[in-house]
C-alpha cells in the first residue's frame, strides 16, 4: 500500500497578528486592463461620460483613447490589495484620501504596493483589531510611461487567527506620494462645441448649486452576476463566491448569503450619478472619505443621489471648476407596517448603503459648449 | 441648523408633448465597439458566420478584421436612441426600412441622430400617441473613414406626462440618406474553396428554395443576464433593470417582472438562424419591417425559424444572390389542458415573439466553394 | 391560397452511424481570441499566474503579450469539435494525451481538425457506441506564425439515430503530430527577481514534494452564468442552454436540469489550483488523462485539490523542473443523516467531479527569485 498523502492547506491572506507597522506588501499579480474588463465594468456601472464610451471624443479632448473611469481604476487597484490586507477582515471601515493621478487607458498594467501605517487592537471586541494602510497603484512599471495612477488609505477590522498570538501594535508614518490629477490642456483650436451634444447640456460647472440634492433617476437591480464581476477583478474573498461556506454557518455571515463586494456598489453609484453629475467632468480629483453603511445582496436594487456641497475655482485652469459633492447610495428593504414617507413607499424602508465625498474637475460651459 | 437641501430630480427622456415633427436629436454618448462588447454579443447570439468569429477568414474575404454582425450594429445604434425617443414609451410598434451600409469593425465609434417624422395622438387611448422617427448611425465621425453604417425608421407609442399639455402633431419629410451595403469585391485570386469548410456546406445561395420554412434546431434559455447585456448597450430604460420600481406597481408593468429589452431577442433570433441561413452571407442588405409580438422574460427559451420567400440575382454581383426571408422568433408558455400539436408538446402554447423581414446577400457555391 | 410551406429541419451533429475510422472533420468556424473572451475566462477561472494577468510581466519573460492559459486554449479548441463529434453524445468518457505547443495570445485565431480513430459498438447498451478521435488545433492558419497549439484524443459515447442503420466499426492509425511546448529561453540579463513579488513565494519547483495533497483554499459557486460562458465558446449543445427541451423529458436528462459544460469545471479547477500550483509555471506540458466523474449544476460550489506525484529535471532546461500532478475537483451535495468526516461537514457528501493528470514546467527559485 502506498504511503498516505500528507495534506497541505496554505493560509490565505493575513490575520491581525501578521501585521506590523511599517511593513510593505508588494501585491501579487498586477493587472492589465483589457477591453474585456473595460467593457464589463464601464457599462455595468452605466457610466455616461463620453470620455469612457467614445474614443474619438476622448482623443479630441487630448486623451490617448477611451479613459478608464476613476471608479474602475479604483476597483482594479483596490482588488489587488484584498488578499494581503482584507481576506480575513470582518469589515472595511472606510476609505481615506483617495487621490487620482495619471490617466488609465485600456492596455495599461496596474501594480499596487501597500504600507501598514498602524495596528490597534479593538477596545471591546476580542480577537479583532483595526489595521490602517496606505496603498499606491502605478501603471506600466518599468516602462517610459510609468506613473502613479492613484493612492489612498483605508482602515479595516481584521480578525486574529490565534487568540494567544502576540500582536504588534504601533504606528508608522505614511509615505509622501506625489499624485496629482493629470488633465489634458485646454486647446482653443479644438471645436469642443461641435461635440457638446454628446454629453448632457446641464451638468457643466455653472449648473451646480451648493445646497442642492440631485436624486439620480435610475436604479439597478443586482443579480448573481456579482460573483463573476468580483472574480474578474481577482478578488477571491470567499464571502462573495462560496455559497457552500456560507451554508455551513449562516449566522456567522452577514445576511446568511453571499454578500456583494463593496467595490461594486462603489462603482455602480458613481455610474448612476454620471448623467447628472459626472458626464462633463474631465476627472475626479480626490475622494476624501468613503464608507459602506449597509451590506448589499443579489436582488437588491441600488439607487443614488448627490449632494452638492461647494463649488470653487480650479487654480491654473480657468476652463474648469471644482465641484465638491457627497455621493450617497441606498436601497430599500421590505418593512411591513411601515407607512409611506416623502421618498419611500409604504411597506419599505430606505437603507443607506454607501457614501463618498468626491471632488470633481468639471468643464465650464463658457469654454466647452 | 444648516439650510435644508433643495431636491432636484431631472426628467429622463421625452414625453409625447416634447416631440415636434422635424425636430432633430443628436444623441448623447456615442459608443466605441470594444472587443469586450463584440465578444459578449457576437457569442451571446450564437452567431455562426465565420466573418464574425475568425479574423483570418474575414481578412481573406476583404474585410479589415472581424466583422460586427448586423444584429450587434443594430443593437448598439438603436440603444443610443432609447433615452431621447423611447424612455417613456409604452411599446415599440415596429422597425421600418432598416438599411445597412459601411461595415463595422471592432474599434469603430458609432454616433446616432434622429429626426421626428410625425406625432399622432392615439385615437382611442388618452395620453398616448404614436411617434414616428428616422435614425441614422455613422461611424468615426470626423475621421477619414467616416461613413453611414445604417439608417432606419421606427414607430413607438409614447405617454404624455401632463394630460393638459399641448401636443404638436404633424408630419415632416424623412431625409434622403445614402446607405448602401458595402461588400468586398469578388477576387478570383483568393482561394475561397480552401476556406469553405469553415462555414456550412448547404447554406449557399443555390440551396435556398422559396416556399420552405427552416426550423432552426437550437433554443436558448434567457436568464437575469439580460440586465447586464442591456446595460452594456447603454440602454438604461428602467423596465429592464429596476425590480424595485416594478414591485411598487406590478400591474402596470407587463408580466409584473423585468421585461427583456427587445433588441436581445432581435439579435438572438438572428444568431439562432445563422447556421442554416446566415453563415454564408456577406451581409444583410435591409430589414424592411420588424416587430415584437409578445414580451420576453428571464426563464423563457427562445427558438427561431426562417421562411424563405424569394431568391433573386444581385445586380452587378454574379458571385452573390439575394435571399428574401422572414425570420420568426417564438417561445412556449405553460398552458394546462392544451393538447399537443405538430410543433408544440401537450401542456404548452407556442407564442410568437418576433418577426423580421430580411434580405441577405448570400454567396453562390459556384464562386466560393 | 398560397402553397403551404415545406418545413425543413436540418440534422445537427453526427450520430454513431455517421462515424467512419479515418474520417477527417475540418470543423466549422474557427475562433479568434478577443480580449473579451480572454477576460471572461481567464478571470472566471481565477487564474493567478501573472503571465495571464500582467502584460509587462509576460513580455519581460519573453512572451509576446498576455498568455492565454492552457485551460482557456483547451476550452476554445475543444468547443470547436463539439458539433461534429459530441453534439449527440451521451457522455464524454475521457481526454487522452492532451499536449501543448505554441503559445496562444490575444488576437490569435484557432482552427481545429479531427480524425476518427475508431468506432466500437457498446457491448451492452443498444444504439450506443464509443467513438475515439484525435484533434489538433492550429493557430493563424496560412500566416507566417502558423503553428500547432495543441493536440489531444478523446473517447465519447455517441447515440445511434436510426436503430436499423449500418455501423462502420474499425480502427485507423492516429496521425503523428509534432507538438512540443514552446517556452521562452532563460535570459540571464533579465531581472526576474525584481518581478518575483508578482507571484507566490512558495510555488517554485523546489517547493513541491511528491506524496503531498495540496487542498486549494477557494471555492466558487456556479450560477446560470454558465449558459453564457458556454455559448461564447460556440458550444451550442442544447443540454447546456435549452431549459424547454429539458422540461419535456426531465428523466432523460441528467439531474432534470441544465447541465454545465464539462469544460467549465475543467478550466475552473485549473484556476482554483493556480495560486498554489500554477503561478510559477511557464506552461503545461501535457495532460495525460482527464475525465469528468459527476455532473455539475448551477448552485454547486466547486473546490479543488492537487496531489503531487513526482518531480523531475526538465531536459535541456536547468532553470525549470517538471512537476507531475493529479488535479482533483469536487463539490458537496446534501445528504441527510450523513455524519461529518475529516473533510466533509455533517449532512453533506463529498462528490468528486473531475480529475486531470497534469505535467507542468515550473520555474526554479534558484534561477527566478
pLDDT tens readout for residues A25-56? 999 989 999 888 888 887 666 688 999 999 99
Q: How many CB pairs under 8 A join A and C?
A: 138
- Identify all chain A residues contacting B3, using CB atoms and an 8 Å cutoff: 211
Which positions in chain A touch C215 (Cβ < 8 Å)? Answer: 7-9
Contact A18, A86 (CB under 8 A): no
Hey, of B33, B53, B201, B202, which one would you mutate to test binding to chain C, going by the most C CBs within 10 A of its CB?
A: B53
pLDDT of residue B226: 84
B236 vs C102, residue with greater confidence: C102
Give the ipTM of the model, two decimals please.
0.88
Cα-based distances in Å from A253 to A242, A249, C220:
11, 7, 17
CB contact under 8 A, A301 and B248: no
Disruptive mutation site among A55, A63, A210, A347 for chain B (greatest number of B CBs within 10 Å): A55
Would you report the helix, strand and coil content of chain A in percent, each value rounded to 5? 25, 35, 40
| Contact assessment for residue A327 and residue A276, using Cβ atoms and an 8 Å cutoff | no
Helix (H, G, I), strand (E, B) or coil at A10: coil
B2 band by pLDDT with thresholds 50, 70 and 90:
low
Q: B touches which chains (3+ CB pairs under 8 A)? A: A, C
Report which secondary-structure segment, H or E, holds B226: helix B225-231
Which residues of A fall within a CB distance of 8 Å from C60?
142
pLDDT at A172: 96
Closest residue to C197, CB basis, from A28, A37, A243:
A28
> Which residue in B197, B272, B304, B323 has the most chain C C-beta atoms within 10 A of its own C-beta, making it the best mutation to test that interface?
B197
Q: What is the pLDDT of residues C60-99, one digit of tens each?
A: 999 999 999 999 999 999 999 999 998 888 778 899 999 9
- Distance in Å, alpha carbon of C153 to nearest chain B alpha carbon: 21
Which residues of B lie inside 8 Å of A (Cβ-Cβ)?
Answer: 3, 5-10, 12, 26-32, 34-37, 39-40, 107, 109, 111, 140-143, 224-225, 227-228, 231-234, 236, 238, 241-245, 248, 258
Q: Is A215 helix (H, G, I), strand (E, B) or coil?
A: strand
Cell numbers of A89, please?
477582515
Q: What percent of chain B has pLDDT over 70?
A: 98
Q: Provide the pLDDT confidence category of residue C155 given band limits of 50, 70 and 90.
A: very high
Please tell me the distance in Å from C216's CA to the nearest CA on chain A: 7
pLDDT for C239: 80
Q: How would DSSP label each residue in C33-76?
A: --HHHHHHHHHHTT---GGGT-HHHHHHTT-SSSBPPHHHHHHH
How many Å lie between the alpha carbon of A153 and the closest alpha carbon of chain C?
A: 21
- Tell me the chain A residues in contact with residue B27 when contact means C-beta distances shorter than 8 Å: 197
| pLDDT > 60? residue C46 | yes
B31/chain A closest Cα distance in angstroms: 5
pLDDT band with cut points at 50, 70 and 90 for residue B245 = confident
Could you tell me what percent of chain B has a pLDDT over 90? 69
pLDDT on residue B1? 54
pLDDT at residue B326, rounded to an integer: 98
Average pLDDT, integer, range C227-234: 80
- Residue A256 pLDDT greater than 90, yes or no: no
Q: What is the mean pLDDT of chain C?
A: 91
pLDDT computed for residue A126 by the predictor? 82
In sequence order, what E strands does chain A have? 6-8, 24-26, 31-32, 89-100, 109-121, 128-139, 147-159, 170-171, 212-215, 220-221, 281-292, 301-313, 320-334, 348-363
Subunit partners of chain A (3 or more CB pairs within 8 A)? B, C
From the list A5, A31, A227, the residue facing C221 with the nearest CB is A227
- B232:A43 CB<8 A: yes
Instruction: Tell if the CB–CB gap between B5 and A43 is shorter than 8 Å.
Output: no
C219/A244 Cβ within 8 A: yes
Please give the Cα distance from A248 to B25 (Å, whole number). 56
* Chain B interface mutation, best of C28, C259, C260, highest count of B Cβ atoms under 10 Å: C28
Residue whose C-alpha cell reads 453609484 in the numeric block: A269
**B367: closest CA among B198, B208, B206?**
B206
Amino acid at each position: 500500500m502506498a504511503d498516505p498523502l500528507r495534506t497541505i492547506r496554505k493560509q490565505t491572506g493575513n490575520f491581525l497578528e501578521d501585521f506590523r507597522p511599517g511593513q510593505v506588501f508588494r501585491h501579487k499579480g498586477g493587472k492589465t486592463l483589457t477591453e474585456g474588463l473595460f467593457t464589463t465594468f464601464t457599462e455595468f456601472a452605466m457610466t455616461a461620460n463620453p470620455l469612457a464610451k467614445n474614443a474619438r471624443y476622448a482623443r479630441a479632448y487630448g486623451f490617448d483613447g477611451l479613459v478608464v473611469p476613476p471608479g474602475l481604476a479604483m476597483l482594479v487597484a483596490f482588488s489587488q490589495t484584498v488578499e494581503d490586507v482584507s481576506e480575513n477582515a470582518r469589515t472595511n471601515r472606510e476609505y481615506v484620501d483617495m487621490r487620482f493621478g495619471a490617466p488609465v487607458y485600456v492596455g495599461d498594467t496596474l501594480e499596487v504596493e501597500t504600507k501598514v501605517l498602524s495596528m490597534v487592537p479593538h477596545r471591546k471586541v476580542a480577537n479583532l483589531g483595526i489595521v490602517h494602510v496606505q496603498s499606491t497603484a502605478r501603471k506600466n512599471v518599468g516602462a517610459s510611461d510609468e506613473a502613479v495612477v492613484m493612492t489612498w488609505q483605508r482602515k479595516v477590522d481584521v480578525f486574529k487567527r490565534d487568540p494567544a498570538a502576540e500582536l504588534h501594535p504601533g504606528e508608522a508614518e505614511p509615505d509622501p506620494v506625489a499624485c496629482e490629477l493629470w488633465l489634458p490642456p485646454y486647446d482653443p483650436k479644438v471645436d469642443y462645441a461641435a461635440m457638446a451634444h454628446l454629453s448632457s447640456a446641464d451638468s457643466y460647472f455653472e449648473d451646480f448649486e451648493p445646497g442642492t440634492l440631485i436624486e439620480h433617476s435610475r436604479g439597478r437591480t443586482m443579480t448573481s452576476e456579482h460573483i463573476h464581476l468580483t472574480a474578474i477583478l481577482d478578488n477571491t474573498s470567499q464571502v462573495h463566491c462560496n455559497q457552500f461556506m456560507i451554508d455551513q454557518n449562516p449566522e456567522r455571515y452577514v445576511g446568511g448569503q453571499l454578500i456583494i463586494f463593496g467595490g461594486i456598489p462603489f462603482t455602480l453609484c458613481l455610474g448612476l450619478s454620471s448623467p447628472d453629475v459626472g458626464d462633463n467632468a474631465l476627472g475626479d480629483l480626490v475622494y476624501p472619505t468613503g464608507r459602506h453603511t449597509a451590506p448589499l445582496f443579489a436582488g437588491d436594487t441600488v439607487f443614488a443621489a448627490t449632494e452638492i456641497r461647494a463649488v470653487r475655482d480650479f487654480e491654473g485652469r480657468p476652463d474648469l471648476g471644482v465641484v465638491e459633492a457627497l455621493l450617497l447610495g441606498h436601497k430599500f428593504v421590505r418593512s411591513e407596517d411601515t407607512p409611506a414617507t416623502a421618498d419611500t413607499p409604504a411597506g419599505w424602508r430606505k437603507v443607506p448603503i454607501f457614501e463618498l465625498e468626491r471632488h470633481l474637475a468639471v468643464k465650464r460651459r463658457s469654454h466647452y459648449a
